[in-house]
Structure 1
Amino acid sequence: MIIQPTSLAALTWAGAASGSAAQSWRIGSVLSARPLGVNPQGLLVLQIGGLTVEADVAGGQLPAQFQVRVLSLGAQPLLEMLSPQPDPTLQRGLRERLPQQNGYAPLLATLAAVAQRPMLRQLPPDLRAALAVLEQALRSPAEITRGEGLRLAIERSGLFLESLLAQPRGNPALLPQDDWKGALLRLVALLDRRAPAPPTQNGDDIAPPLLQRGLQAQPRAPLPVPVAGDDVEPLLDRLHGDVRAALARIEVAQLESGTGPLPAWMIEIPLHGEDGRDVLQLQLEYVIDASDGGRGWNLGFALDLPALGAVQGELQLREPRLSVRLWAARADTVQQLERQFTALRQRLAACGVLLDQLSCQLGLPQPTGRYSAVLLQATA
């Protein structure tokens, strides 16, 4: 990123040649920096170590506050943007939970198998009630296709449970019955009393946190192999491990959501599907457009339905403008989605939304990591 001083910055730079500001710009120095806004020429104005400079940003995003290290001086100083120092408590939490976590698909398959067992009626009432609460926490397709229903599904996805309880009226005794993490915690407490948790079996192949992996459509997992007779105990053992793995996955997502420079969340919503259960994955992030300082939201989603195959999408909202890109793994699904484009354009126009792009491509995009190193080049 090439940074050219404004007239004020040029005077400051020149006047600071023998002052403290010049001393702070030594090679190896670490300086605080923050964006101040965008000037009439469309250049990003930054304050770095007491100096105000302009940046012609080719791409990328800058957080509200960050640090840079001076790599070189002269007519074109080179600054390296530093990543924030990781919180040791957060890092320890991630190290503990990453080997334990797993997706929701195995858990949903085990729940379906347990529900088919005649012996289920002989389980203790409190365990049957906890299973019913977990079933209630699954969302229906009709719910998430409405704005308010999707908002509620995100709020009750488990990612924000502690935030809800921390509110002035939050009360653990009044835990929302349809919060996914809350339902998992109820169930695992009963399963822990029944028997010790099974050991983690992920081995050395530990997947990174969800935000670092990017969106990935998750197909349904096969049902567990039936056990001879009516013995439900092996399935309950498997359920115990699946519930703990799902809880670890939520906690990894919670820990990871606060590590980036801008707000971002990876949210997974279990759904009642046709003849089974599915997982909707959402990636929601707040963005600042480095080219003009505009702010908005990016919403990505991934879903794998038996009738459609894997589908992925990205919506970029810069009010009132919206861009929509879709991808599908199957050609017939692409055609099916494109047949809905006219109706979608009409509904968006009726809402006052200006549609810049609406497309659907065959094949899924490659997942991309969210974090990368940024170099700043400054011109004095």
Structure 2
Amino acid sequence: MRIDLVDFRSTSPAGSSSPSLLPEWRVGALLQVVAVRDAASGQLWLNIGGQRHPARLASGNTAGPANGEVLQVRVLRNSPVLALETLSTSTRMGTEAEATVVANAMRRFVPRQESAALMLANLSWLAQGKNGASELPKAVMQAATKLWQALPDADSLGDPEVLENAIRRSGTFLETNLADAARAGTADPKLLANDLKALMLTLSRALREHGARPAAAHSDTAMNAPVPTARGPLTVLNAAPATFSMLEAADQQLNELSRQTDGALARLTTAQITSTSPDPAVQSMLVELPVRHEDRASMLRLRVEHDHSRKHSGGGDSWSVEAAIDLGQVGALHAKVTLAGHRIGVQLRAESPAIVEALSARAGELEAILRESGLEIDRIVCLHGMPVGDTGARPARLLDVRA
């Protein structure tokens, strides 16, 4: 959801000594605001730092935030209007301590998050033993190799059990699995040992123990990626070339891989935070799963949403599953499946006309399989182009300061 401030002038009570926050608002800044609704007109205001500013919805939820709703927002642009993107919402009924923890976590991880594509490209470079791989410390190479080998194989994900296992150890559920193991007093060593977040943490630690300084890496090789959110179009994370091809010194490679690993961890943590929903009736989960195909890797993005808000009115539960992946030279592929009761709808999108044609040619087979499973077909469509919609997210750094 994107919200624009329509008037930059403060509307604080007369005599207020609170200075305006506007000079401090920079693109990428994270703020916590409170929505205020006029009881008679429904006019939306945002209370920011003790000042109220009139606002309007620019995109997203047509109803907008409710009175008293707390929003975590990011500044998208400050000209010609001040545009804010909502990253998370909560009600005042939630504990103040919990809201503070979430806000602090977002401030910490969002500016550091980076697509894992660059890290994956360099892991592939090392796995193939290309130039410079033999010069890195043995412990770093062992950690990098173990992470690379733990990536699920793309060809095997057609098996539901394999896909389920890959999602469970994607890193999204590491803390949950550890908590469950602590309560039960037992743990599955194989599950925890192959968890991708745990393996990234091991790699990050090995890099730092051998002198890696992530802050010393070249910032111009960073890969811009939209902030992971639980709403809006599910865009792909594009593959990337190995930056090790431009670095010859081992210390530079250590710094580079350390920054990329830390950025991937920050992004994973950000996705975990944004998957928490203040609305118990609508649960949404975002998973970004690295998958390996021969000597390269891609990011498979998955979003699962369960909506049972209409259950009490007899409407029943509804589910939706979305997936998006970069297929390399042929472009991106997007799929969305919706299930309401026994009615199912399938929407397939691709950037390549040839892929769209191939999907359309086999749509009849898919329909037959679904009908044999006892489902009623709502629609099966194959479209050219990716989902569009303005969520406020932009493929740019949160803050770019240049001398």
State the TM-score, normalized to the length of structure 1.
0.69
Q: Which whole-Å deviations, capped at 9, do the CAs of 1:206-230 have from their partners, x for residues lacking one?
A: 954432454111221122262576x
Q: Determine if contact 2:137/2:210 at 8 Å carries over to the other structure.
A: no
Q: Which amino acid aligns with 1:223?
A: A
SS at match of 1:166: helix
Residue matched to 2:193:
177
Work out the CA distance in 1 between the residues paired with 2:300 and 2:170: 11
Find the counterpart in structure 1 of residue 297 from structure 2.
277
1:298–1:316 contact (8 Å) kept in structure 2: yes
What does residue 251 of structure 2 align with?
Answer: 233
Given the superposition, is the C-alpha separation of residues 350 and 232 from structure 1 closer, same or farther in structure 2, using an over 3 Å criterion? farther
Partner Cα separation in structure 2 for residue 309 and residue 206 of structure 1: 17
Paired residue for 2:177, among 135, 160, 164? 164
How far does the alpha carbon of each residue in 1:285-319 deviate from its partner, in whole angstroms, 9 at most, with x for none?
A: 11136475321211111111025311112110123
Amino acid paired to 1:194 = H
Alignment of 1:337-352 (within 5 A): 337-352=359-374
**Aligned position for 2:121:** 109
- Letter paired with 2:239: R
**d(CA) in 1 for partners of 2:225 and 2:355?**
33
CA 260–352 in structure 1, closer or farther in 2 if over 3 Å, else same? same
The residue identity in structure 2 corresponding to 1:176 is: L
Corresponding position of 2:32: none
> Residue 89 in 1 paired to residue 101 in 2?
yes
Structure 1 residues 339, 207: CA separation in 2 closer, same or farther (over 3 Å shift)?
closer
Tell me which stretches of 4 or more aligned residues in structure 1 moved more than 6 Å: 66-69
Equivalence for 1:251? 269
Count of aligned pairs between the two proteins: 297
Contact kept in structure 1, 2:325 and 2:334, CA below 8 Å: yes
- The change in CA–CA distance for 1:151 and 1:127 in structure 2 (over 3 A counts) is same
Displacement of 1:334 in angstroms is: 0.6
Amino acid aligned to 2:335: G
**One-letter amino acid of the structure 2 residue matched with residue 284 of structure 1:** V
Equivalent positions of 1:182-261 (< 5 A) are 182-199=198-215, 201=219, 207-212=226-231, 214-224=233-243, 226-227=245-246, 231-261=249-279
> What do residues 347-376 of structure 1 show as CA deviations (whole Å, max 9, x unaligned)?
222222222110011111114549xxxxxx
List gaps (5 residues or longer) in structure 2.
1-37, 41-60, 69-88, 393-403
Which structure has the larger Rg over C-alpha atoms? 1
Per-residue deviation, residues 103-128 of structure 1 (Å, max 9, x unmatched):
11111112122333354345444322
What does residue 154 of structure 1 align with? 167
2-structure distance, mates of 1:360, 1:260:
34
Match of 1:377 in 2: none
Secondary structure at 1:248 match in 2: helix
Q: Which runs of 5+ in 1 are unaligned?
A: 1-26, 30-59, 70-81, 371-380
Greater relative CO (CA pairs within 8 A, separation 6+): 1
TM-aligned CA deviation for residue 141 of structure 1: 1.7
Q: Please give the alpha-carbon distance, in whole angstroms, between the structure 1 residues aligned to 2:371 and 2:185.
A: 40
Q: Identity, % of aligned pairs?
A: 26
